[in-house]
Structure 1
Amino acid sequence: MMKPSFFASASALCLGLLLAIGVGFEANAAAKCIKGDRKAPYTIGWANIYSVPTWMKQTQGTIEAEVETLKKQGLVDKLVVTDAQGDANVQIQQIQSMIDSDVDAIILIAGSSTAPARVIADACAKGIAIINFDSLVDTDQVTAKVNTDSSQWGDQAAKFLIDAIGGKGKILILNGPAGVSVSDDRRKGADAELKAHPDVTVLAETNTPYNVAPAQEAVTSLLFANPEIDGILSLGGALSAGAVLALDKQGRDQVPITGENARQFLELWKEKGLKSWATMQPNWLGAFAAYTAVQALEGKDVPAFVKIPLPVIDNSNIDEYLARAKDFPADGYIYSPYDEELFKKLLAQK
């Protein structure tokens, strides 16, 4: 017969092992919102704010491709996709539906920086990995935020344009939709340079969707009202293409212009010999968000914010991008290459 002291010792040992296992798991599940109680294969929700712009379609394409890779690795079972059609309130309802169906992760571009805070906090409390990229939310109740530095984007664009026009002149500023964080932050980022150069006069500004047609229409109206323009500070690629087409249609001389990696803009840049500079919000941020969500669910340490370096496109490398143009939609974005090794390096940043 075993002594009571043996049972006490054995019980203590088992308890110690259980505690050790629990503590060890929690130590591995270091990312926010992660409780360690979810197992692969996972269901990922993609709460899309709108799917119409080609940039969004390309971004969803990278998400779907990454999910297929993760499926082959036995890490993901299903991708659930919603489309709020530009309505932040609808996006909130769709996120709530994902929570109710107990998805394991939600990746999103926020339609509002403030409105989704409550529903996102609810998802986080339930152990759902939340990866927010591109347009960010004003809450830290997420697993990770992923973005380029939009303020740096605006600053670099303004520096290029001001230098290109010799530090003085009349310019137009083209912004994306008001209230969208990436658009607002790019514009704020340009402020310091503009204020430091009082001889640069901002004639007018626009806020339009990131599409060529509305940008061309808006710039056309501004051209009628402003016969003298020395440069255009465009903070979006389709906006730049629209501006170039508007100038062309009115028979106006092209002026220095900043932009983004939109294929149409890059092709116009080359065709017309524009004095330009561009950067990009890589579409593969979507794929990286899906990858990051799974890494967090698997117990990996994930940074609260992952900063994506801004690639620069200028006359020294524009031909490299245009050489790959055929692989992208005519109205799409020629984004930089990516792979899992790049994703690992980005997650390893401190």
Structure 2
Amino acid sequence: MSHTPSRRGLLFGTAAVSAGALLTACTSNEPSSKDDSKGDAAPAADETGKAVTIGFAGPQADHGWLNAINVQARQRAKKYKDVTLDITEGSNDTATQIGQIDTLINKKVDVLVILPADGKALTQAGLKAMRAGIPVVNLDRVFANPQAYRCYVGGDNYGMGLNAGHYIGEKLKDTKNAKVIELSGPDSLELTKQRSKGFDDALKNYTNIKKVARQAADFTVESGQQKMAQLLQAQKSFDALWNHDDDQGVGALRAVDQAGRDGFLMVGGAGARSAMDHIKADDAVLKATVLYPPTMAASAIDLARALGQGKGLAGLSESEIPTSLTLYSAVVDKTNIDQYMPSGFK
């Protein structure tokens, strides 16, 4: 007969599977397996299980994607009658966010979901929670020490660049001496480096394409406009642009309009509603965007609930949830825009 392990034992035990489980399995309506060798599925959204209080600490929602993260977390928690969400105000100041996490630890929440403003700087906060017996779901920006979290949920930054590069490559594969430029995020972020590396690796498959310029912006409208204007001034002609972030893409499109430029393909990043509106209307050089889904916050709530209830995932044999889950970065263009339009964030 199975027994419920201690919370500390559950956190630092050896169980767990690799990435790739479908989060929808957390809310499966299929009945639990009768086989004692398989883990119990988390109850469905309309079924009430053990009451779980989930603490949620993230950075300041000063960006469309970060605001969407908070919205996704709140909406998901509301779907569960057995979940109480304790969400902090959010701060980009490391000391402030550490203090907010300390408060949630002192409240003895059942599970913590943390999207750190700086993964390395917040690692000790994650470790403190885990050592206090509170499992941590590390969201998006990964801690420097895997012992600081029970489960990691995030986007595929390398895959995002890879998919953007392959999409552009296929569009330009018959273009002789094609030129591509890149408007990246801040070079201080590891995610930016991963996105650029994926993009460059994809372009290596196309011998006719050369990346001729790159500028780093700051994920803001203003920086996107400024850096794009510099790129346009330096490059009198090119065939495609990949922009890492749809918020800064708003500024990039303004710079393009002001310069009266066209004749090239622009691919965005993240999946903002503004980008999807342009793709749907086909009224700008922006023809596609590569998703970095804020739905990862909803998935984090699913996993946190399962952790708090001591459940695994339906459809998997293991008794524990995975240690990591990496979301896929789909490319959205006019061929599939209707499918993804509802996920566009403001």
Q: Name the TM tier (shorter chain).
A: 0.7 to 0.9
Q: How far has the Cα of 1:316 moved from its partner?
A: 1.1
Structure 1 residue 187 corresponds to structure 2 residue 196: yes
Q: Which fold has the larger relative contact order, with Cα–Cα distance below 8 Å and residues 6 or more apart in sequence?
A: 2
Report what 1:59 is aligned to.
69
Structure 1 residue 287 corresponds to structure 2 residue 293: no
2:333 paired residue among 314, 329, 343:
314
Q: How far has the Cα of 1:63 moved from its partner?
A: 1.1
Unaligned runs of 5+ in 2: 14-48, 312-319
Q: Please say if residues 64 and 247 of structure 2, whose CA atoms lie closer than 8 Å, have aligned partners that are also in contact.
A: no
Q: How far has the Cα of 1:27 moved from its partner?
A: 8.8
Report what 1:24 is aligned to.
3
Q: Distance in 2 between matches of 1:222 and 1:77?
A: 48
Structure 1 residue 303 corresponds to structure 2 residue 336: no
Report what 1:119 is aligned to.
125
Report what 2:36 is aligned to.
none
Q: Which has the higher helix share?
A: 1
Report what 1:94 is aligned to.
100
Q: How does 1:86-235 map to 2 (within 5 A)?
A: 86-141=92-147, 142-165=149-172, 166=175, 168-197=177-206, 200-235=209-244
Report what 1:80 is aligned to.
87
Q: Distance in 2 between matches of 1:91 and 1:239?
A: 25
Seen in structure 2, the aligned counterparts of structure 1 residues 317 and 30 have a Cα distance that, compared at 3 Å, is: farther
Letter in 1 for 2:70: Q
Q: Please say if residues 111 and 180 of structure 1, whose CA atoms lie closer than 8 Å, have aligned partners that are also in contact.
A: no
Q: How far has the Cα of 1:144 moved from its partner?
A: 0.7
Percent identity at matched positions? 22
Report what 2:46 is aligned to.
none
Q: TM-score, normalised by structure 2?
A: 0.76
Q: Please say if residues 185 and 216 of structure 2, whose CA atoms lie closer than 8 Å, have aligned partners that are also in contact.
A: yes
Q: Please say if residues 44 and 78 of structure 1, whose CA atoms lie closer than 8 Å, have aligned partners that are also in contact.
A: yes
1:42 paired residue among 43, 52, 57:
52
Q: Distance in 2 between matches of 1:28 and 1:158?
A: 44
How many residues in Structure 1 have an aligned counterpart in Structure 2? 298
Q: TM-score, normalised by structure 1?
A: 0.75
SS at match of 1:145: strand
Q: How far has the Cα of 1:167 moved from its partner?
A: 6.6
Q: Which moved more, 1:283-292 or 1:220-229?
A: 220-229
Q: Please say if residues 113 and 180 of structure 1, whose CA atoms lie closer than 8 Å, have aligned partners that are also in contact.
A: no
Unaligned runs of 5+ in 1: 1-19, 333-350
